[in-house]
Amino acid sequence: MAQQHLQAGSKVNLSPLGPGMAGARTTAIVKGRQLEVVRVVLQAGQHMKEHKAPGEMTVHCMEGCLEFRTPGVHHVLEPGDFIHLEAATPHSLLAVRDSSALVTMSIHVA
């Protein structure tokens, strides 16, 4: 069964998962022609190896603690922290604690 994405004009609650994080999975919230929004869920010790997105992106740590690395820069993201990356910037994530983050990506590259 194909994953259902949020329809334009609809709403969704993106509050922190709290105790529900243990059984939660990474979920695509919106996938449009120009924009993709994903709630990334990583359990402590899980990582996303280095990769890059074709367009600009943002990461908003919603809960937990994430190590966010780009070439030459290492950030520790705590709840409420927000970071912006230019298109095609290599980056990786490591969950220091069970964590969720809202990732927004521009997928339309001119």
| pLDDT (tens digit per residue) in 21-37 | 989 999 999 998 899 99
pLDDT higher than 90, residue 10? no
Q: Give me the residue label for tokens 């809960």.
A: 63
Confidence of residue 109 (pLDDT cuts 50, 70, 90): low
Q: Which CATH fold would you assign to the domain 20-106?
A: Jelly Rolls (2.60.120)
Select the more confidently predicted residue: 9 or 55: 55
Confidence of residue 107 (pLDDT cuts 50, 70, 90): confident
pLDDT at position 3, please? 58
Weakest-pLDDT range from 50-54, 58-62, 97-101 = 50-54
pLDDT at position 32, please? 87
**pTM to 2 decimal places:** 0.89
Kindly state the average pLDDT of the residues 12-18: 91
